[in-house]
Amino acid sequence: MKFVDEVRIRIQAGAGGNGCVSFRREKYVPRGGPDGGDGGRGGDVVLAAVTNKHTLLDFRYRHLFRAASGKHGSGQNRHGRGGEDLILEVPVGTVVKDPLSQEDLADLAEPGQVWIAAMGGSGGRGNARFVSSTRQVPRLAEEGRPGEEAELILELKLMADVGLVGFPNAGKSTLIAAVSAAKPKIADYPFTTLVPNLGVVAYGEAPPFVMADIPGLIEGAHEGVGLGTRFLRHIERTRVLVHLVDVSELDEEDPLRPLRQIESELESYSDQLPLKESIIALNKADLVHDGDKLERLAAAYRETGRPTVVISALARKGLQELLLLLTKVLNAPD
């Protein structure tokens, strides 16, 4: 399935039906009064968050969505039927924005959450509604009101517990493939991952959690360099960040440089991202054959005060320790 996380759509709620001008015409009723019914109300356009969708692909090639209009009223006081609401199902985590102001209009972060995006127009009143002591034979009725129209931007922010961040080719796809049933594309060149991958991770008796493999960041990502800010939004909702660092590429003179660069990009995008709890995973330990050097590099990262674990996602070493750390953090009492 193609991953689509941002679309622009136009919606139009249904118009209300017109009221009717009608008079009773029955045998033996010589002075039949007005009996025109009301028009039906137009249908609303409703966005509903569902768990069985994980992409905005349904809105990729169709951009206009109209709800049904109400039916017109008719004689014998028959009111028009209301138009059916148009329910647009979106993935949980969808944010609705105004295209002009970029203001957030709705955040559908919970399963089953709904938001009325456009209200249907009210139906017009029939002439039976206009009878009064001074107007016995009204010959007027109201037209139905048009439904609301709007242009919206839909943005999907993945709902994951753990987000993997790091430079391209740090081994994020290999890690998520090793600890879950996800099957991301894996290769030995940068930017293998072009869309986020989700995997469900189970460890011991702890509740399973969702891990997201975010496409690699590079310096200047918050300004659009590389894959830019397109995927940074997907780590806004994660509870824990795992900084994946390729330990085989570290320079002993300045081993923390990759961590500082990634954190700088996160902070430039949102000052809330650096506040998230984080774990450092030094990956590709199987490529460092000098044990003393490996320990020195790990010690430098432990001095940051953050939990640090040395792993090899390819050789599947150290993964149990990493998963144990993650389950402790995710299940710690608030």
Task: State the DSSP string of 59-97.
Answer: GTS--EEEPPPPPPPBTTTBPPPPPPPEEEEEETTEEEE
| SS3 assignment, position 9 | strand
- Find the mean pLDDT for residues 144-157: 94
Tokens of 230: 């397109």
CA distance 117 to 11: 8
CA distance 213 to 94: 18
Q: Tokens 């990009």: give the residue.
A: 265
pLDDT on residue 68: 97
Tokens of 170: 């740090």
CA contacts within 13 A on the Cβ side of 44: 10
pLDDT on residue 332: 79
Share of the chain above pLDDT 70, in %: 88
Confidence of residue 238 (pLDDT cuts 50, 70, 90): confident
Contact present, 318 and 312 (Cβ < 8 Å): yes
Q: Which residue would you say has higher pLDDT here, 272 or 129?
A: 129
Which among 263, 268, 270, 271 has a CA at the least distance from the CA of 306? 263
Contact present, 282 and 308 (Cβ < 8 Å): yes
Helix (H) or strand (E) holding 199: strand 197-201
Among the residue ranges 84-88, 118-122, 128-132, the one predicted with the least confidence is 128-132
pLDDT on residue 302: 94
pLDDT on residue 51: 87
Report whether pLDDT(312) > 70: yes
pLDDT on residue 190: 43
Contact present, 259 and 305 (Cβ < 8 Å): no
How confident is the prediction for the chain on average, in pLDDT?
A: 86
pLDDT on residue 319: 94
Report whether pLDDT(197) > 80: no
CA distance 105 to 151: 12
Q: 162-330 maps to which CATH number?
A: 3.40.50.300
Share of the chain above pLDDT 90, in %: 54
Contact present, 56 and 5 (Cβ < 8 Å): yes
Among the residue ranges 5-9, 49-53, 185-189, the one predicted with the least confidence is 185-189
Contact present, 168 and 245 (Cβ < 8 Å): no
pLDDT on residue 193: 44
- Find the mean pLDDT for residues 227-236: 64
CA distance 240 to 136: 72
Most confidently predicted of 59-73, 126-140, 177-191, 218-232: 59-73
pLDDT on residue 327: 92
pLDDT on residue 110: 92
Report whether pLDDT(159) > 90: no
pLDDT on residue 194: 47
Tokens of 294: 């490996």
Q: Which residue would you say has higher pLDDT here, 181 or 224?
A: 181
pLDDT on residue 122: 96
Among the residue ranges 39-48, 91-100, 188-197, 253-262, the one predicted with the least confidence is 188-197
What kind of architecture, by CATH, is found in domain 1-156?
A: Distorted Sandwich (2.70)
Q: Tokens 């940074």: give the residue.
A: 232
Which among 227, 212, 198 has a CA at the least distance from the CA of 165? 212
pLDDT on residue 220: 45
Among the residue ranges 178-182, 268-272, 306-310, the one predicted with the least confidence is 178-182
Report whether pLDDT(86) > 60: yes
Q: Which residue would you say has higher pLDDT here, 299 or 267?
A: 299
Contact present, 42 and 70 (Cβ < 8 Å): yes
pLDDT on residue 171: 85
